[in-house]
Chains A and B, each alone.
Chain A
Amino acid sequence: MDDVKETVLSILKDLTGEDFSTKLDENLYDSALLDSMGTVQLLLDLQDKLGVEAPISEFNRSEWDTPAKIIAKVEATK
Chain B
Amino acid sequence: MRWYIPYGNPTYFIWLAVALIPLMLGLLYGHRFRWCQTLISLFFLILTFGGPNWHTGIALICYLAYQIVLVGAYSHYRQRKSSANKGWVFVLAVVLAIVPLIVVKVTPAIQSGKQSIIGFLGISYITFKVVQTIMETRDGIIKDYHPVVFAQFLLFFPTISSGPIDRYRRFVSDYQNVPAQKDYLDLVQTGVHYVFLGFLYKFVLAYFFGTVLMPQIQFAALMAHGFSWYIVGYMYVYSMDLFFDFAGYSLFAVGISYLMGIKTPMNFNQPFKSKNIKDFWNRWHMTLSFWFRDYIFMRLVFFMMKHKTFKSRITTANVCYIINMLIMGFWHGETWFYILYGLLHGCALVVNDTWLRYKKKHRDKIPHNKLTELFATFITFNFVCFTFLIFSGFLNTLFFGPSKF
List B contacts of A11 (CB < 8 A): none
List A contacts of B297 (CB < 8 A): 36
List A contacts of B301 (CB < 8 A): 36-37, 40
Do A57 and B302 have beta carbons less than 8 Å apart?
no
- Verify if B293 is at the interface (C-beta below 8 Å from A): yes
- Verify if B141 is at the interface (C-beta below 8 Å from A): yes
Among A35-56, those with CB < 8 Å from B are 35-37, 39-41, 43-44, 55-56
- Verify if A58 is at the interface (C-beta below 8 Å from B): yes
- Verify if B278 is at the interface (C-beta below 8 Å from A): yes
- The residue in A36, A40, A43, A56 that gathers the most chain B C-beta atoms within 10 A of its C-beta is A40
List A contacts of B299 (CB < 8 A): 56
Number of A-B pairs, beta carbon distance below 8 Å: 34
Do B313 and A41 have beta carbons less than 8 Å apart?
yes
Do B136 and A57 have beta carbons less than 8 Å apart?
yes
- Verify if B233 is at the interface (C-beta below 8 Å from A): no
Q: Mark B297-328, 1 if CB is under 8 A from A, else 0.
A: 11101100110000001000100000000000
- The residue in B136, B297, B302 that gathers the most chain A C-beta atoms within 10 A of its C-beta is B302
**Count of chain A residues near B, Cβ 8 A:** 12
Do B135 and A57 have beta carbons less than 8 Å apart?
yes
Do B139 and A58 have beta carbons less than 8 Å apart?
yes
Q: Mark A19-48, 1 if CB is under 8 A from B, else 0.
A: 000000000000000011101110110000
Q: Which residue from A35, A37, A44, A57 sits with its C-beta under 8 Å from B294?
A: A57
The smallest C-beta distance from B92 to any residue of chain A, in angstroms, reads 19
In the bound complex, what is the Cα–Cα distance between A44 and B134 (angstroms)?
Answer: 22
List B contacts of A39 (CB < 8 A): 298
Among B265-304, those with CB < 8 Å from A are 278, 293-294, 297-299, 301-302
List B contacts of A41 (CB < 8 A): 305, 313
Do A43 and B141 have beta carbons less than 8 Å apart?
no
Do A36 and B293 have beta carbons less than 8 Å apart?
yes
The smallest C-beta distance from A29 to any residue of chain B, in angstroms, reads 10
Q: Mark B127-170, 1 if CB is under 8 A from A, else 0.
A: 00000000110011100000000000000000000000000000
In the bound complex, what is the Cα–Cα distance between A58 and B143 (angstroms)?
Answer: 13
Complex: chain B residue closest to A37, CB-CB: B317
In the bound complex, what is the Cα–Cα distance between A43 and B302 (angstroms)?
Answer: 9
List A contacts of B293 (CB < 8 A): 36
Do A36 and B298 have beta carbons less than 8 Å apart?
yes
List B contacts of A44 (CB < 8 A): 302, 305-306
In the bound complex, what is the Cα–Cα distance between A58 and B139 (angstroms)?
Answer: 8
The smallest C-beta distance from B293 to any residue of chain A, in angstroms, reads 5
Do A57 and B317 have beta carbons less than 8 Å apart?
no
In the bound complex, what is the Cα–Cα distance between A40 and B304 (angstroms)?
Answer: 11
In the bound complex, what is the Cα–Cα distance between A37 and B299 (angstroms)?
Answer: 10
The smallest C-beta distance from B86 to any residue of chain A, in angstroms, reads 16
Q: Which residue from B278, B302, B317 sits with its C-beta under 8 Å from A56?
A: B302
Complex: chain A residue closest to B353, CB-CB: A37
Complex: chain A residue closest to B299, CB-CB: A56
The smallest C-beta distance from B172 to any residue of chain A, in angstroms, reads 14
List B contacts of A56 (CB < 8 A): 139, 294, 298-299, 302
In the bound complex, what is the Cα–Cα distance between A58 and B299 (angstroms)?
Answer: 12
The smallest C-beta distance from B69 to any residue of chain A, in angstroms, reads 23
Do A40 and B305 have beta carbons less than 8 Å apart?
yes
List B contacts of A37 (CB < 8 A): 301, 313, 317
Q: What are the nearest 10 A-B pairs in CB distance?
A: A55-B139, A57-B139, A57-B136, A40-B301, A57-B141, A40-B302, A37-B317, A56-B298, A36-B298, A36-B293
With A41-B313, A56-B294, A57-B139 already in contact, 6 other A-B pairs whose C-beta atoms are closer than 8 Å:
A35-B278, A39-B298, A40-B298, A43-B302, A55-B141, A56-B302
Residue pairs across A and B with Cβ atoms less than 8 A apart, 8 shown, are A36-B293, A36-B301, A40-B301, A40-B305, A55-B139, A55-B140, A56-B302, A57-B135
